[in-house]
Amino acid sequence: MPELPEVETIVRDLNKKVAGLKFLDFWTDWPKSVKTHKLADFMREIKGRKILRAHRRAKYIMLDLSEGKTLIIHQKISGHLLYGKWKIADGKPVADVEGPIKTDPYNRFIRHMFYLSNGFMLGFSDVRRFGKIFLGDTKKIENINEIGKLGPEPIPTPSTRFHLVLTLEKFKEIMKKKKGLTKRVLMDPFTIAGIGNIYADEILWYAGVSPLRKADKLKDAELKAVFKSVRLVLEKAIKAKGDSEQDYRTLDGELGGYQKLQKAYQQTGEKCQKKDGGVIKRVVINNRSAHFCPVHQK
């Protein structure tokens, strides 16, 4: 699933490419993704609206539109937005531009297309069809249950200027109340927004904390190290334009670069890059993998 750095990368590119444009039309082969409206009503509501700006809440992409509406897209497990051109052939979108949007097989599962006023489209590639689309009043967007219950943002970014950003003191307060394993707490979007499986592993590797430690048992120095590592890792990943170990691609259909920088995630059996003599180990926590160095992560 695209995590905070991947979504932040998409949002920054959306502001460069589509802010100021209008939606002209919408196409879909999977209308179930539209959660707030019947398809005909959704199409009527977005048609002609101008895109004012893009921002993000956790892993949700938000496009503020003219006349007080906000379009929200959750890419879920296998989805990603693309900016390009497609034509419909035999009922399916076919890329009409050269480059990775056309050649990368992960970019070919277009379920939805937003037609833009400059002749381009926003395509939503989603092989598993788990993505969600919402449209609501900008002033009431937090009323959508999935949005309103989210925890604070772990790092300040231009796209989170409207939302609560986590401080060290608030982080300590949260963690000391949680009795679960540290990795699971970091991944809970209703506790801290936007950190998923990949970056939880990476954060704990940098912090020197085992994913098997209970959150409420961490000492203040360890909590400070984890908090510092949250910002370090997420900022590194944003700079690298996200992690394309699996399905995620940038708005141009290209690979992100963080998979080349991984220290723990998917590094099972590799020597720890701390050069401490450790070998990265994989364990299963609540049906999710955790990767860590048993030497320096205590």
User: Active-site residues: which are they?
Assistant: 2-3, 59, 288
Report d(CA 63, CA 133) in Å as an integer: 11
How is residue 291 written in tokens?
Answer: 């990767």
How is residue 253 written in tokens?
Answer: 């259909």
191: left (phi over 0), alpha (psi -120 to 50) or beta: alpha
Report d(CA 183, CA 265) in Å as an integer: 12
Assess contact for 63 and 70: CB atoms under 8 A. yes
Report d(CA 53, CA 233) in Å as an integer: 26
Instruction: Give the H or E element holding residue 28.
Output: strand 23-28
* Distance set, CA 148 to CA 144, 164, 199, 235, 260 (Å): 6, 12, 23, 25, 35
Order of all β-strands in the sheet with 79-84: 23-28, 110-116, 121-126, 79-84
Assess contact for 51 and 21: CB atoms under 8 A. yes
Q: How many CB atoms lie within 10 A of CB 169?
A: 9
Helix (H, G, I), strand (E, B) or coil at 94: strand
CB-neighbour burial class of residue 77 (10 A; exposed 0-12, middle 13-18, buried 19+)? middle
